């Protein structure tokens, strides 16, 4: 499984993805699921993937190869004018991969199940965040729902539901995302460190605030420890239930 | 959907179930999913159900009807000697219902998917807690895993994972269970109030500590409010993340 979260905030976008892939419990590996296409000064596009790894990697490869296409009639992630158009490119790449591999996967009873989060900003519009489905269709995050999750999303949702606010600073939002990961990692084996993260500041058109948080990261270790303590304290401070 | 939790602690057992059933979002109803068989001074057996309501109700009805059976060769929940035997009775009732309804359900492409939590104590042994599957087989909670959940279990699992301890008082455990419900209710529409709860004290052989917690319950309202505040405070007290 996988866990990825994207937040669209007033000050920018936070994208985070774990790196565990597993084809059964005895076949666990680390793969990057967060991909960034940057044209500094003009656009930053970040995509995170959940689902069949062969399919998601093909989609990423198709999108990257097409950047080099010389056909001016064929839009690419480097040339589209809006994030909506970028989401359509991703959707169409998903459909292309299905056209190539779908039948063989079906014949093998394997699922063509993928989901993507696509966030970023293209000069001329505000940052936007999309979730793209296996069918190539998609939804967009709005002010009402500033975060989207894919993969193993349930364990880490309650804390996001409670605390996320569109006017958070990115560093605050990143902390919240890491708390959401912390709960997920604790309760589900199929999600694993390290965590890749991008903090994108509105109108920066630069993807330089990217990092990989490893198991031994001192901030993450402190956060996990403090969070456990504070949760236990919070529970203890609430009066016990009596019938 | 449904959410039920059972905890097996040193001092007894806590069982809690929501009451929402839905066949689609526009067909929501309230049904009791927590059932208690009590023979005061001798045994308390509590069962909670998730899954196809027609099936789970049939299982409960079969078990209850069989209590009146005059056949001394046929064990019932009132006569079995151990909770293990009680779990086998439930499993065999599940198989009986499948024999009656399974084919028709399959013909209608409906799922025969049910899960039960069965907790309680029969004189002569310590309290025990079981989870029974659609196939009628089951597992038992041990000291390593003092809680079992069925239904929509993911949202409410992180807090149980972190705080549950076998030596908790029942009132503490009940509070923890309600916090787990609180997170689930917030993040998932298919789980709904009221919550039915049984606190069973080891060796009491009495099910008198039972209650239904309604939406307007002042304790639950306070708990929800305090918990939200404390979580937000806890998040705020952790330093923000910086790249």
Residue range A131-184, pLDDT digits in tens: 999 999 999 999 888 999 999 999 999 999 989 999 999 999 999 999 999 999
Looking up tokens 């994208």 gives A15
Q: List chain B domain ranges.
A: 3-237
Chain A residues within an 8 Å CB radius of B5: none
Please answer yes or no on whether A161 and B209 come within 8 Å at the CB atom: no
| Closest CB from B171, B210, B230 relative to A242 | B171
Q: Work out the minimum CA distance from B18 to partner chain A, whole angstroms.
A: 17
Average of per-residue pLDDT values in chain B:
93
Question: Could you report the per-residue pLDDT of A9-35, keeping only the tens digit for each?
Answer: 999 999 999 998 876 667 777 888 999
Q: Do A231 and B162 touch (CB under 8 A)?
A: yes
Contacts of residue B14, Cβ cutoff 8 Å, sequence gap at least 6? B5, B6, B7, B170, B173, B174, B177, B197, B198, B199, B200
Cβ pair B37, B199 in contact under 8 A: no
> What is the helix (H) or strand (E) element at residue B163, kind and residue range?
helix B157-163
Quote the pLDDT of residue B25: 67
Whether B157 and chain A come into contact, CB under 8 Å, resolves to: yes
Cis peptide bond N-terminal to B194, omega within 30: yes
State the pLDDT at residue B186: 86
Determine whether the interchain pair B243/A209 forms a contact, defined as Cβ–Cβ distance below 8 Å.
yes
What's the pLDDT at B24?
A: 67
Q: For residue A26, what pLDDT is reported?
A: 72
- With beta carbons less than 8 A apart as the criterion, state whether A131 and A115 touch: yes
| Other residues' Cβ atoms within 10 Å of the Cβ of residue B224 | 18
CATH of domain B3-237: 3.60.20.10
Instruction: List CB contacts (< 8 A) between A235 and chain B.
Output: 159, 163, 175-176, 179
Contact flag B231-A159 (C-beta cutoff 8 Å): yes
Q: At what angle do helices B170-187 and A218-237 cross, to 10 degrees?
A: 120
Q: What is the pLDDT of residues A195-220, one digit of tens each?
A: 999 999 999 999 999 999 998 999 99
The values of phi and psi at residue B129, to 5°, are -140, 130
């Amino acid at each position: 499984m996988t866990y990825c979260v994207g937040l669209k905030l007033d000050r920018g976008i936070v994208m985070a993805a774990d790196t565990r892939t597993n084809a059964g419990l005895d076949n666990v590996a680390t793969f990057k699921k967060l991909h960034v296409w940057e044209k500094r000064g003009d656009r930053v596009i970040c995509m995170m993937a959940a689902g069949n790894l062969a399919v998601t990697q093909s989609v990423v490869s198709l999108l990257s190869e097409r950047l080099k296409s010389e056909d001016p009639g064929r839009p690419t992630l480097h040339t589209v004018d809006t994030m909506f158009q970028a989401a359509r490119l991703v959707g169409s790449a998903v459909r292309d991969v299905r056209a190539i591999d779908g039948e063989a996967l079906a014949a093998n009873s394997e699922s063509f199940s993928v989901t993507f989060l696509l966030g970023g900003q293209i000069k001329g519009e505000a940052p936007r965040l999309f979730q793209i489905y296996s069918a190539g269709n998609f939804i967009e995050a709005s002010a009402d729902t500033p975060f989207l999750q894919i993969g193993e999303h349930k364990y880490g949702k309650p804390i996001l539901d409670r605390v996320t606010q569109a006017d958070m600073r990115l560093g605050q939002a990143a902390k919240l995302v890491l708390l959401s990961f912390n709960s997920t990692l604790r309760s589900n084996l199929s999600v694993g460190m390290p965590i890749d993260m991008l903090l994108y500041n509105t109108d920066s058109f630069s993807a330089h605030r990217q990092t990989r948080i490893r198991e031994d990261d001192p901030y993450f270790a402190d956060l996990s420890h403090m969070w456990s303590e504070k949760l236990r304290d919070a529970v203890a401070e609430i009066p016990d239930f009596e019938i």
